[in-house]
Structure 1
Amino acid sequence: MTDTLCNRTFDDIAIGDHASLQRTLTQNDIATFAVMSGDANPSHVNADFAQSTPFRQVVAHGMWSGALLSNLLGTVLPGPGTVYVDQSLHFHLPVMLGDTVTVSVTAREKWADTHRIRFDCAVVNQRGETVVSGEALVQAPTEKVCLARTQLPQLRLVDDGPRLRALVEQARAGCAGHSPMRVAVVHPVNAVSIQGAIDAAQAGLIEPIWIGPENRIRAAAQEAGIDLSPWQLMPTEHSHAAAALAVELARNGKVGALMKGALHTDELMHAAFDAQNGLRTGRRASHVFVIDAPAADRLLFITDTAINIDPDLDTKRDIAQNAIELAQALGIATPRMAILAAVETVNANMQATLHAAALCKMADRGQIIGAILDGPLAFDNAISAAAAKTKGITSPVAGVADILLTPDLESGNMLAKQLEYLGGATIAGLVIGTRVPIILTSRADGVPARLASSALAVLLRQAQMRAVGLLDAPPAASTQGA
């Protein structure tokens, strides 16, 4: 492709002059035109639908073919300065995903008094089939023009949370043939916490049990037009009592997970971590954000982001092991963990680098199992293979990390929220290392985050049950991190 666009004037064009270009239809092309036009017709935007239904002869992706003809007329023949007057196109066959088409125009008639030219138009696929034919009438330029070719911006289409949606489907598949997991929804006194649990229930993931002040729960449901009658409601006087009752149900095996409603995290965690009646195990609990970032080619796990404020080395060992087990429960057989710091070399004055080095040696000695660890690594080296190569870092983790273990809660929480609010990521969250997982979504989270977080809890619980022989083997595992 040249850097300049030069037109051909009306006088330069003879009858029979011809130009053509080739393009291959990609999924991005389909999505781009669907977004631009608002056309969600499945015979246009869904290649599988268009090929597998009786509507195959409907024109699929006709707008794309028409745009290619316009491109050819406007940039090549006649080129810059061309004014479209009229066109008539006939669509004979659909252009399907992966088809390579040759688009051509041929001058057929000229009118000197108006400087108009009629072109025959054709679009032919790689099998030699004519998919589009017709004609276009344009007013050709009368002055020679050469322009610098405009560098088109890179177009990136963002699909919010496709990997997390896949986890929801994975969890649903694991629930097939089993009763949904009973989940204590703690203090759900607003519509979003109720609706998030109901969506998870309607997806077949959970059976919610509403725990909290009955009048406030029913009032929130009524205001939102939600029917609570299919599920049990266990009334308590206030949020403290709701948290205590939910923890008691988990200790007694009556529920498989807790879900935070409209109460503060500290209030729920105070009950969960009670030394006598809480949900403690031999390992420190921690929080993991599972991040579906548009710019990443895999899910990212960021930990700890909500529980341990300034973890010491032993706590980080538990944080690491918790995250590894969650990643494995989601189908990543051997996750890669990057222990983050501001630099990628050990510095005696930077505790995060010392912790990173020690954690890697602990993994070598079998004190942390199930993953490949490396650190210290700066964020760019953990995520970008190009950045790691530029800095001369040779590592099985650099550039391909699944789990990011952050120096402390503040850095982890800020990193996750930056990816969400500035990077367009969809996130889900879970507290692990307790007797049952705790779905610890933010009060600002919407229903999709709560649904995905429920799927995380279900998948982790299923893995724990398989480990003790209470559940059959899972569906085929993900290849992420393999």
Structure 2
Amino acid sequence: MEPRHAKYRQLIAHCQTLAPMPTAVVHPCDRSSLEGAVEAARSGLIVPILIGPRARIESLAAECKLSISDYQIVDAPFSEASAAAATQLVREGKAEALMKGSLHTDELMAEVVRRDAGLRTGRRVSHCFVMDVPAHADALIVTDAAVNIAPTLEEKVDILQNAIDLAHALQFPEVRVAILSAMETVSPKVPSTIEAAALCKMVDRRQITGALVDGPLALDNAIDPEAARIKQIDSPVVGRANVLMVPDLEAGNMLAKSLSFLAGADAAGIVLGARVPIILTSRADSLITRLASCAVAVLVAQARREAAKIVG
């Protein structure tokens, strides 16, 4: 078995060869969020712009013995104002990513999706975990386990395309998506199987591009070649999926936490579909998971810059 965190360490080391990314750190008013931002800066991943009550941030830094004198602080009186200031920095081209601090995710995302002054694109906003599972050869992307509660088929199109684009940004040699359900057969009694089949047909018609996609698939035959062999399912995805698309948030949350607490996996989190990547971390995240989340955002931002050059 490979050492724990091996995939994350490789990811972070690669991103340390790139220019650090200007990042708006939104309301870093507790120890874990401020420490995470400072450590990401020390590791050469980001150039943090700290947004929140200046006196509170400076007092917290002193209490935690963190040096923040080299970082810009944008004074904002409360969490909602911090989120608004952060989105403004993105619109002005001064930040290439957002990083959640100690405010609620809902407060941050409310500003991101505001129609008048937010960071909307033509895509549905969705969340991906990039999971480092020690006993599994490849990193696993799990989507969506944090933003879309019960997505429609139309919304799943964007959730799937966001995940595929992320896999390309992470330089997966081949993107293989399993659209998960409780079974691998299409049943009118299980709506997620019908939607999985529809998504696969949309891939055939190139409405969704960039990956090998199969579904519905149960989790066992998505990731275990022997289970796929026993069930006689023949496709280039079965047994070797590296992107797992779940039917709804409840299933995704349970899958991600099962991998974390039963298989010792780490879960770097990123929100996609906005104008910039959004680094979502939990207070329970380890330092290496926080750094991996920043590294994922660095690669997403780099992929967007390269795509913009092609379009330009």
TM-score of the pair, normalised by structure 2: 0.97
User: SS of the residue aligned with 1:355?
Assistant: helix
Corresponding residue of 1:410: 250
Partner of 1:168: 12
RMSD over aligned CA atoms reads 1.2
In structure 2, the residue corresponding to 1:469 is in which secondary structure?
A: helix
Deviation digits for residues 51-92 of structure 1, max 9, x if unmatched? xxxxxxxxxxxxxxxxxxxxxxxxxxxxxxxxxxxxxxxxxx
Q: Deviations over 1:346-389 (max 9, x none)?
A: 00011110110000000000000000000000001101000111
How many Å apart are 1:442 and its aligned residue? 1.4
In structure 2, C-alpha distance between the alignment counterparts of 1:212 and 1:415, rounded to whole Å: 34
Q: How does 1:26-425 map to 2 (within 5 A)?
A: 159-173=3-17, 175=18, 178=19, 180-425=20-265
Q: Shift of the alpha carbon at 1:256?
A: 0.2
**Corresponding position of 2:285:** 445
Q: Is the 8 A contact 2:131 2:268 kept in 1?
A: yes
Find the aligned partners of 2:8 and 2:161 in 1 and give their Cα distance. 22
Structure 1: give runs of 5+ residues left out of the alignment.
1-156, 471-482
- Between the aligned residues of both structures, percent identity stands at 53
Q: Which amino acid aligns with 1:168?
A: I
For residues 153 and 300 of structure 2, what CA distance do their matches in structure 1 show?
A: 25
Query: Is the contact between residue 220 and residue 228 of structure 2 (CA under 8 Å) also seen in structure 1?
Result: yes
Secondary structure at 1:422's aligned position in 2? helix
Q: Distance between the aligned counterparts of 1:421 and 1:183, measured in 2?
A: 30
Bigger CA radius of gyration: 1
Counterpart CA distance in 2 for 1:184 and 1:164 is 23
1:462 aligned partner: 302
Structure 2 segments unaligned to the other structure (5+ residues): none
The 8 Å contact of residues 196 and 446 in structure 1, kept in 2 or not, is answered as: no
Moved over 6 A (4+): none
Give CA-to-partner distance per residue, 1:411-437, whole Å, 9 cap, x none: 111111111112100110100110000
Conservation of the 8 A alpha-carbon contact between 2:29 and 2:56: yes
Tell me which residue corresponds to 1:436: 276
Partner Cα distance (2:173, 2:119) in 1 = 27
Alpha-carbon distance in 1 for matches of 2:91, 2:250: 30
How far is the alpha carbon of 1:334 from its aligned partner?
A: 3.0
Query: Retained in 1: the 8 A contact 2:8–2:288?
Result: no
Q: Which whole-Å CA distance do the structure 1 matches of 2:159 and 2:264 have between them?
A: 26
Greater share of residues in strand? 1
CA–CA distance in structure 2, aligned partners of residues 365 and 207 of structure 1? 42
Say if 2:162 and 2:272, in contact at 8 Å, map to a contact too: yes
Q: Deviations over 1:399-455 (max 9, x none)?
A: 100100000011111111111112100110100110000001112212211100000
Deviations 1:294-336 (A, max 9, x none): 1211000000111111000111110010001110011114300
CA distance in 1 between counterparts of 2:248 and 2:168 reads 23
> Which string of whole-angstrom CA distances, capped at 9 and with x for unpartnered residues, describes residues 234-262 of structure 1?
11110010011101111221100000011
Residue identity opposite 2:162 in structure 1: N
Q: For 2:201 and 2:154, how far apart are their aligned partners in 1?
A: 13
> Would you tell me which structure has more helix in proportion to its own residues?
2
Following the alignment from structure 1 to structure 2, what is the Cα–Cα distance between the partners of residues 158 and 330?
Answer: 20
CA distance in 2, matches of 1:250, 1:328: 23
Q: How far, CA to CA, are the matches of 2:133 and 2:194 in structure 1?
A: 29
Q: SS at 2:81's partner residue? A: helix
Q: Give the letter aligned to residue 275 of structure 2.
A: R
Distance 1:352 1:419 in 2: 22
Deviation, structure 1 residue 158: 6.2
Separation in 2 of the partners of 1:446 and 1:333?
28
Which one-letter code corresponds to 1:332 in the other structure?
F
Measure the CA separation in 2 of the matches of 1:250 and 1:234.
13
C-alpha displacement at 1:469, in angstroms?
Answer: 2.4
Greater RCO, 1 or 2 (C-alpha within 8 Å, sep 6+): 2
TM-score by length of 1: 0.63
Letter of the structure 1 residue corresponding to residue 3 of structure 2: D
Contact 1:360–1:374 under 8 Å retained in 2: yes
Q: Is the 8 A contact 1:284 1:315 kept in 2?
A: yes
